Chains A and B, each alone.
Chain A
Amino acid sequence: MRISEHPILGIPEQKKEVEFTYDGKIIKGLEGEPVAAALKAAGIIIHRYTSRHHSPRGIFCAIGRCTDCVMVVDGMPNVRTCVTPLAAGMDVRTQYGVSVKSMDAGAQYEVSVKNLDDRAQHEVSGNMETTNEIAEKGR
């Protein structure tokens, strides 16, 4: 939800409303605000899925440090949406691992992720999994 008036900061500076696409859907945001802020204001909080466990990630630090909020923007993967200003017509897509999921490859991709997870459960101890998760998170 956007804050229309703040007790200390007053009314936000007027910014132009622009359209951009999120996974192909047209969405509105404010020109120059971080892509992540526009998504959050539109109720979108999942920015990417990790490659190994297919677990969702979103905004975490909001200052370009943690790289959790990266998405595919105008075809470029690993774009930090929290520090990337929104421009009209931007093509913003959920990132799967390090790429955009195509509709056909997607189903296959999910199966392979599931297999990986199953294997991980059999072969890797609980502790190892936690370590992997943290390493993957890269914080």
Chain B
Amino acid sequence: MAEAHPVGFQWVVEAKKRGARIIHVDPRFTRTSALAHQHVPIRVGSDIAFLGGIINYVLENELDFRDYVVSYTNAATIVSDTFVDVDDLDGLFSGFDPETRTYDPTSWQYESEDTDADLHRSQADSSGDHVEHRETAAGMQHESHGSSVSARPMRDETLQHPRCVYQVLKRHYARYTPEVVEQVCGVSQDDFLAVCRAWTENSGRERTTALVYSVGWTQHSVGVQYIRAGAILQLLLGNMGRPGGGIMALRGHASIQGSTDIPTLFNLLPGYLPMPNAAKHHTLTDWIESVRNPGAKGFWANAGAYGINLLKAYWGDAATADNDFCFDYMPRITGDHGTYRTVLDMIDGKVKGYFLLGQNPAVGSAHGRAQRLGMANLDWLVVRDLFEIESATFWKDSPEVETGEIVPEECRTEVFLFPAASHVEKEGTFTQTQRMLQWREKAVEPPGDATSELWFFYHLGRMVRERLAGSDDERDRPVLDLAWDYPLHGDPEQVAAGWGEPSAEAVLKEINGYEVATGRPLSTFTEMKADGSTLGGCWIYTGVYKDGVNQAARRTSRHDQSPVAPEWGWAWPLNRRILYNRASADPEGRPWSERKAYVWWDPEKGDAGEWVGDDVPDFEKTKPPSYRAPEGSEGVEAIEGIDPFIMQGDGKGALYVPQGLVDGPMPTHYEPVESPFRNLVHGQQGNPTRKEYRRDDNRMNPVPDDDHADVFPFVFTTSRLTEHHTAGGMSRYLEHLAELQPEMFVEVSPALARERGLEHMGWCHVITARSAIEGRVMVTERLRPLRVEGRIVHQVWMPYHWGQSGLVSGDSANDLFGISLDPNVLIQESKVGTCDVRPGKRPRGTALRDYVDGYVARSGAVDHVVPVVTASADAVRRSHDVQEDGKDQHAPHQVEDR
């Protein structure tokens, strides 16, 4: 946190001064460790084993915050009797299909009170087809809503029922003993138990513990399950929805949160609505029902309004009830169209044009060579950036030009490099990592021909529409009917010539939503209508333009308001700063303790009581804690007074996830795709459902049980330095940053330096099946070999900020990674791999490829492909049999069109 988010770290330092204990778990000793009370070095890729060990510690010793757990989580919910856990299936959950390597999650569902299969409808409808879920990264829709389970599953509030979630969880994590943690993670039992004690002793009624992770956690083949493991622990200890608690994702880019809320992602539309899928969303009703999930609790019940308001915002007057609000205008996805799939398609010649918008995949994406070879096989490429980054110059100075794989005279890709406006040369909002939107005022005009993306895309759209004008081709209707008239402002001459700057505020108002007839901005998404009388581009952002005021531009000084600072910027949803904050009060609505009071029920307020406190209550303001839902209710009405998790189908925090995840209802330890160790916990080595692209240009290093695994004996990981920013496009070109870390380097422990003959500040190179890169050697005790499964493992660390351009240049660490993805969100495993390290610089020119090919041949990666499913044949069969049984038993669940 101190490394990549130094200013955020001020709050940790402040907490430390006030007595908080700081624990830092990281493979290497960083700037964060330097200020922590305890640094716990851990083997890269073993986090679930570590967190699972703490979960086990909590459950074994019954240290959970029981009142919170019983009322606010699904601990009491009974799981289907067909569910079989990994312990009995060698690392697989029940329902595994070895053909597709996906699960049928039917057996994972909650037990229903009613035998009538109809009551399963809400569960099964969205449990769905996991092949398609993996292809479309469906897990991402859950960023704003949890599993859409039925409103009233069976519960045992004593937590004694053998199939209640609490007991299932307890059995699942019983294996993660301190001994296993020590063996798998390389963490001593003393260190581990110290963490367990600190975390549990500092959680409960009077105290809360915060879990902070940086998004390296997401860059694993089990990335989503890492975060799930953190969520389980924080729920068990009652740390969610409470001040000083929670899970904080330290995201790495100014508006990366905004980029998922208002996504430029293939599978999502604004507000986490799914992109329509050719297989399931034939009609507007199909699409809405798939989100609305009849039978479930919560605010997704209004999905129809959210979806229709988006269509109305896109196609304006053309979108009417008669034509299903132009739902047919939407293109359909049919599978994986993620950035890595697309890059491989570029190599295969299937993609013609590519836009890179402030993005430098030649350095910043995994498998840099594949990225660059893909770019070299396009018709045209548009790069928009502040500087002449590597992705714009791949055709003249990339590593592949050096190896002869890209020959400028033979590369046909046309490249346009457009100068972009900087953050002070345009106005608009960033959404920071706590979901807060902050409006930036424009300070100056951009230099020369530099323009904003708003300008570029508005005018590109205008010009494409002009070119298609008069077309009677049906395919052009969505473009021609698009609501695309934004007021222009700025330099009067430019405006007069038709080249003005579109008004970002007008766009923000459209995002917020307004009444079509009057133009009155909506105050809350509950004002959205499903009849076309309102429109709004992103329902979760509704309220940011409340009362016609740009709420994101608010700048009331922190000195003039409460510490929660509700008048600085605007946070979604509805300016709530801590999500699910109803959980900061007990079931009766009283603060859990005086020192942890945040939001509570005041029976004296209003007509019959109201929720009050320091924050905007994340609950219906006048719904009392005593409210119980009437029989048969659903949606918002079904949320009871003790259901703080209002976006979850059952209103409860999920310790166990019956659906929505492709790789299982509970996190379980799998080894990284590339690992020098066998999975000690199960026969199943890696995540059996991970997304793989098995091609000659994407070879993965072998793993144990393979004779050649020792060709790549070391573990490596990468991360950021304080002095640089991601792929370096905003730091390597600045003298005041570049000079602070001027060269690529490789951190190794003194022991590894001795073993491989590496000299401090000499050169070394790191080799994987993809490439070899070089850097200066940094020998440091900050990296420590660990004892894992009884033997010493060396870990190597590298920053990934360099490329061939800029004031300082060097090899790119991302060239070392292959492409294998988490199955839920299709994010690549680029925080762990295996490698070899050798002294001296790497070979140059064509010799580089020969050198890497030699390693590949020695490692057997050419003809010996490691199987993904390594659980025993018997386990695979039994897991699959559960699925077959499930089919018979719950036939209606299988209605998904496949």
Tell me whether A and B are bound partners. Answer: no
- Chain B residues with CB under 8 Å of chain A are none
